[in-house]
């Protein structure tokens, strides 16, 4: 189901895209066309379009790669004793997917490619061993990195300087035709789930292009939103935000809701819609339909794990799955804040109070929090660093989930996707940062004064150090730094940008000083307090208990520092409490950081716990630790994981908002009717159909207790916000 003909007022017939009627079929005004021209000019100047020469280079690379895989299949066919005719007919075909197939790739972007071969050519040996050897012998191929145990097995490399992500799918055909139609369901017969996931990259891209009213408007809008997401730090599937296919699906849904809108209108409506979207209600381009092939599809009625998803964005090709289940409570909060920012700027643009430049203002991450976690990734050389960093980065999402779990959601973690490099180090180095703050509106109560996340960090490091391909020199350090201690290598100019001082209204000076006394712990007027260690604090006040992570505080992960030239004193994230810093009475540790600091403002000296290393400690490596492969985990390409990530984090199921419906709940996903709870509220009435709906009622699975699991109903208010 993609589109249908629906009746409208007058003699006209409108084509319905998606599962509901459009919100508005209004076309652009002259002002809208002018804003669209300005937006397109901005995108061109931002370098989002590749040159004709680069496009030709990509076509040439794809042509050469196509010849290589065809020769590879013919070679295998001959070696396995097939007839000369079979060898002559043996074939493999290349498909592209992702941004390249959608037509929104820019300068320097990689090319996602899928090789489809016959049934007798397998992935494990033929693709990852034989083809790998063939590619490794080509001088055009560099940085060849196979990832066979990933959720979506992939071979990553550069071909004449152009990055390639190559997947493989073996279909149930002896001869693969050159004009193979992968959109047909028969291509999924007798294949395993990794093959289905590999094929669906192309199938989803094709479905998206079929389900949008105007492909060119969709492409321009998607280019714009991808640039915006990167500038605002919310473009990264592997970190727990959204990747390319997620943004494409969100944009496509807005295109369906406003089928006649041009790009500038679609950008504005994008933020208006998703600012008011009631997550975890799903975004769907078409109905979710079962199929006789029996592959699992996203269905919170039947699958308990699907109920834990925070931001479901459902793929349109069978089997329909949630493409964004990496999103956590913390990353969803960050994205909602950024949607609010985008909506506010677009309103100003429509009032001619701002230009498009304002929408793409970079997010100042290092000015947004008082406290940060710094994750340093170290390896002896660039090749080891690339592999090691890919593994660690794929596990960073687990650190966010573990912090949410161990603090019962009272401590928010904002992972930032950007990578930072300290070029002054003598070895390979990469660093990632996470902002920390307490949950907004949290009242500090007795027994909730402190959060000790040292055990959480140790548990995370232990899981990272179980990397199957670990080598000596691969190290990871996690430290707590204050805003004023952010290292200079994270700033493009090499130094911190000065913060503008905020003028104080003389009439409110007394009130302003009071607020400063409450929140600015660096104030000289604040009365000093004696700082107690965790142990002293718990002894002196039995009712005041620390919020301690369930894992042991003593690290079970291998100590990789070893006094190497690249290492530094191990810095662990300590107790986060509600008292100001002073000299710690706990031997061997510095003072903990205060919970009251985690409100996103101010900054002062570091209070991380620093555990000094003893010279007598014997270095240890991960050789004596349990070995864990890349299998069932997020891969280095950011593909979603099939591991027990949610179980590890002990996430509570999401309760789906519902209303009492007077009619029987339908078996299939479809639009809401007038007797369901209103979906659109408070504003833009002139744009809305009386019974327009942006979501779907889904039938509960038989046997599910309807008192504990509610019916999912999309509720969306399109009221604009200031």
Residue 363 annotated in active site = no
Write the DSSP assignment of 204-221 as a string of letters.
HHHHHHHHSS-HHHHHHH
Query: Are 607 and 592 a contacting pair, CB within 8 Å?
Result: yes
- Contacts for 423 with CB less than 8 Å, ≥ 6 apart: 429, 489
Which is catalytic among the residues 99, 584, 586, 641? 99
Distance CA 452, CA 206 (A): 48
User: For residue 491, which of 435, 434, 421 has the smallest C-alpha distance?
Assistant: 421
Rounded to whole angstroms, the Cα distance separating 165 from 687 reads 43
Which one is catalytic: 74, 226, 370, 711?
A: 226
Give bridge partners of residue 680 from the DSSP assignment.
716
The pair of three-digit structure tokens given for residue 9, joined into one six-digit string: 């007022």
Q: How far apart are CA 53 and CA 64, in angstroms?
A: 17
Question: Cα separations (Å) of 688 from 19, 256, 347, 716, 722?
Answer: 16, 14, 19, 12, 21
The question of whether 235 is a catalytic residue gets the answer yes
Contact 656, 712 (CB under 8 A): yes
Out of 17, 24, 32, 112, pick the active-site residue. Answer: 112
The one catalytic residue in 66, 110, 299, 536 is: 110
In the structure, how many helices (H) and strands (E) does the chain have?
A: 16, 19
Q: What is the DSSP string of 395-456?
A: HHHHHHHHHHHHTTT-EEEEE----B--TTSSSEEEEEEEEEEEPTT----TT-SEEE-HHH
Catalytic residue among 32, 82, 156, 165: 165
Other CB atoms within a 10 A radius of the CB of residue 447 amount to 12
Q: Respond yes or no: is residue 110 known to be catalytic.
A: yes
Distance CA 707, CA 704 (A): 9
84 as an active site residue: the answer is no
Residue 544 among the catalytic residues: no
Cα–Cα distance for residue pair 226/242, rounded to 1 Å: 10
- Report the candidate in 489, 482, 448 with the shortest Cα–Cα distance to residue 608: 482
Structure tokens at 585: 């009475």
What are the CA-CA distances from residue 251 to residues 244, 245, 320, 669 (Å)?
A: 11, 10, 18, 21
For CA atoms 555, 558, 562, 563, the dihedral sign is: negative
d(CA 71, CA 93): 11
Summarize the chain as % helix, strand, coil (round to 5): 35, 15, 50
- The residues carrying an active-site annotation are 99, 110, 112, 165, 226, 235
């Amino acid at each position: 189901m993609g589109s249908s003909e629906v009746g409208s007022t007058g003699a006209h017939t409108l084509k319905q895209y998606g599962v509901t009627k459009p919100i508005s079929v209004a076309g652009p005004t002259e002002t809208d066309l002018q804003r669209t021209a300005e937006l397109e000019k901005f995108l061109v100047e931002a370098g989002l379009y590749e040159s004709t020469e680069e496009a030709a280079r990509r076509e040439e690379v794809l042509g050469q790669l196509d010849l290589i895989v065809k020769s590879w299949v013919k070679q295998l066919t001959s070696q396995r004793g097939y007839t000369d005719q079979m060898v002559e007919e043996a074939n493999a075909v290349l498909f592209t997917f992702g941004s390249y197939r959608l037509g929104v790739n820019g300068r320097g972007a990689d090319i996602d490619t899928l090789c489809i071969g016959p049934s007798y050519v397998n992935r494990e040996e033929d693709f990852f061993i034989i083809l790998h050897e063939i590619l490794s012998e080509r001088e055009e191929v560099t940085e060849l990195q196979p990832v066979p145990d990933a959720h979506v097995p992939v071979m990553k490399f550069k071909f004449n300087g152009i990055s390639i992500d190559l997947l493989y799918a073996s279909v149930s055909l002896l001869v693969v035709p050159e004009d193979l139609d992968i959109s047909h369901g028969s291509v999924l017969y007798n294949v395993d789930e990794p093959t289905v996931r590999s094929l669906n990259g192309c199938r989803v891209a094709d479905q998206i292009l079929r389900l949008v009213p105007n492909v060119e408007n969709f492409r321009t809008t998607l280019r714009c939103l991808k640039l915006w997401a990167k500038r605002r730090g919310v473009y990264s599937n592997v970190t727990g935000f959204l990747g390319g296919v997620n943004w494409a699906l969100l944009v496509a849904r807005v295109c369906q809701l406003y089928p006649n809108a041009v790009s500038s209108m679609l950008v504005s409506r994008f933020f208006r819609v998703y600012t008011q979207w009631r997550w975890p209600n799903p975004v769907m381009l078409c109905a979710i339909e079962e199929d006789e092939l029996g592959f699992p599809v996203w269905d919170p009625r039947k699958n308990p794990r699907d109920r834990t998803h925070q931001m479901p964005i459902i793929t349109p090709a069978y089997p329909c799955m949630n493409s964004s289940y990496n999103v956590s409570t913390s990353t969803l909060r960050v994205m909602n804040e950024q949607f609010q920012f985008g909506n506010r700027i677009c309103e100003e643009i429509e009032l001619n109070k701002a230009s498009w430049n304002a929408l793409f203002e970079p997010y100042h991450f290092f000015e947004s929090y008082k406290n940060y976690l710094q994750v340093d990734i170290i390896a002896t050389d660039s090749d080891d660093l690339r592999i090691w960093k890919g593994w660690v980065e794929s596990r960073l999402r687990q650190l966010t989930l573990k912090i949410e779990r161990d603090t019962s959601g009272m401590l928010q973690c904002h992972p930032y996707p950007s990578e930072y490099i300290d070029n002054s180090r003598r070895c390979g180095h990469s660093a990632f940062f996470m902002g920390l703050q307490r949950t907004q509106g949290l009242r500090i109560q007795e027994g909730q004064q402190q959060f000790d996340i040292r055990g959480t960090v140790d548990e995370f490091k232990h899981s990272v150090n179980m990397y199957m391909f670990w080598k000596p020199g691969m190290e990871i350090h996690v430290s707590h730094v204050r805003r004023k201690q952010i290292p200079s290598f994270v700033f493009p100019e090499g130094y911190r940008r000065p913060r503008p001082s905020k003028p104080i209204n003389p009439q409110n000076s007394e009130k302003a000083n009071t607020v400063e006394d409450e929140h600015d712990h660096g104030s000289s007027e604040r009365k000093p307090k004696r700082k107690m260690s965790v142990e002293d604090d718990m002894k002196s006040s039995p009712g005041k208990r620390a919020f301690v992570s369930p894992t042991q505080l003593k690290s079970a992960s291998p100590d990789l520092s070893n006094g190497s030239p690249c290492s530094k004193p191990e810095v662990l994230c300590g107790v986060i409490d509600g008292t100001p810093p002073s000299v710690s009475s706990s031997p061997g540790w510095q003072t903990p950081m205060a919970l009251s600091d985690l409100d996103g403002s101010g900054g002062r000296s570091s209070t991380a716990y620093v555990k000094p290393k003893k010279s007598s400690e014997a270095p240890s490596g991960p050789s004596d630790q349990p070995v864990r492969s890349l299998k069932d985990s997020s891969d280095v390409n950011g593909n979603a994981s099939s591991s027990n990530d949610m179980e590890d984090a002990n996430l509570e199921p999401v309760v789906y908002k519902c209303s009492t419906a007077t009619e029987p709940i339908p078996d299939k996903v479809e639009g809401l009717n007038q007797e369901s709870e209103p979906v659109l509220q408070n504003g833009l009435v002139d744009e809305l159909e009386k019974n327009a709906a942006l979501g779907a009622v889904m039938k509960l699975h038989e046997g599910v207790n309807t008192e504990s699991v509610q019916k999912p109903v999309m509720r969306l208010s399109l009221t604009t916000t200031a």
